[in-house]
Amino acid sequence: MPTPSITKAQQKAIQKADTLIEALGWIRKFRDTTTVIKLGGSVVEHPESLRHLLLDIVFMSTLGMRIIVVHGGGKAISRAMDAAGIEPRFVQGRRYTDTATLDIVEKVLATDVNHELVAKIEEYGGRAMSLNFLSTNVLFGEKLMLTGADGELVDLGNVGEVTRVDRLTIDNLTYAGQVPVIPSMALGPDGEKLNVNADTAATAVAAALGAEKLIVLSDIPGVLRDVNDPESLVHSLTASEARRLIADGTISSGMIPKIEGCLHTLEQGVKKIHIIDGRLRHSLLLEIYTTSGVGTELVRDDAAELASNGAAAVAGAR
């Protein structure tokens, strides 16, 4: 039978169909798995990028993935503090949180930003639930004390770390097809409210739920072998490979604590971590449902070994 002539419109439609077929294997693979998405304040600040990310989240949830969003809101907090005439203070890279700052963090992060994200997800056709101090809190912790250069403990005010996650509440929502949206704050043992680093909060949630993936959305594309060459993106790294890149200086400066945090997360049982640029349109879908992805994935060494032995359906599966 001769091949029919194809119009440009039909060719474009066929390419879309090919893309859907490519995604089919990943859709099956990740249905009913849990993915925690850490939404950084830098991404929240870009309305168009945020819109596409939330549309991606609605799409993924509709396809049967159990999605949990943990978010920060650093820039919005800084603006509110500036408006209130409060000078921000940082200790070892963490925001010192006194009582006045804590009130702003709670209003901006745990209320305003949190409710806005839920409202937008629902506006785009999804189902979401705020899990904050006004509804149901799911993060519990204790005050975080750092060690100074002289070995003495450094007080950060009302800053904490997560010690317990209410997994049952989160699981019940995801099983019902809802997206829990969690601000990076926790309740202390005496009911005091604590400001928590969003990366560590997302890590705690991912570990507590035994998540298949933790996706860190930021304003960087992932690990680059040459920081001046976007084409040098490293698509996949094992934990040992990442440590070698830190040792030889390929991973340097601000990327080191981010990668070290990812390695610590892998040690807690999360299978894969993806670092992607949340400003890229539909970066979530491109990372999860295409073969090559658009960011850097980090996997445990034992997980990589299983994949190479054929335990994974596709070697290097994202």
User: How far are the Cα atoms of 68, 133, 135, 138 from residue 168, in angstroms, in the given order?
Assistant: 13, 17, 15, 9
- The beta-strand segments (E) located in 92-152 are 94-95, 128-130, 139-147
Q: pLDDT for 25-45, tens place per residue?
A: 888 888 999 999 999 867 777
> Which letter does DSSP use for residue 176 in this model?
T
Average pLDDT of span 110-116 = 95
The residue ranges of every structural domain in the chain are 32-230+239-296
Q: How confident is the model at residue 46 (pLDDT cuts 50, 70, 90)?
A: confident
What burial class does residue 120 get, using C-beta atoms within 10 Å of its C-beta: 0-12 exposed, 13-18 middle, 19+ buried? Answer: buried
pLDDT at site 307: 52
Query: SS3 of 127, please?
Result: coil
Question: Other CB atoms closer than 10 Å to residue 205's CB: what's the count?
Answer: 28
Side by side, which strands form the sheet with 213-218?
128-130, 179-183, 66-71, 34-39, 213-218, 272-277, 296-299, 236-238
Q: Which CATH class is domain 32-230+239-296?
A: alpha beta
pLDDT at site 314: 46
> Which letter does DSSP use for residue 175 in this model?
H
Average pLDDT of span 254-283 = 85
The chain-wide mean pLDDT, for the chain, equals 87
Q: pLDDT for 136-169, tens place per residue?
A: 999 999 998 888 777 788 888 999 999 999 999 9
pLDDT at site 304: 55
Q: Give the separation between CA 60 and CA 68, rounded to whole angstroms.
A: 11
Amino acid at 172: N
Strands 90-91 vs 94-95: parallel, antiparallel or unpaired = antiparallel
Q: Give the separation between CA 87 and CA 54, rounded to whole angstroms.
A: 32
User: How far are the Cα atoms of 155, 199, 202, 260, 267 from residue 100, in angstroms, in the given order?
Assistant: 16, 23, 25, 32, 36
Average pLDDT of span 170-183 = 96
pTM of the predicted model, to two decimals?
0.86
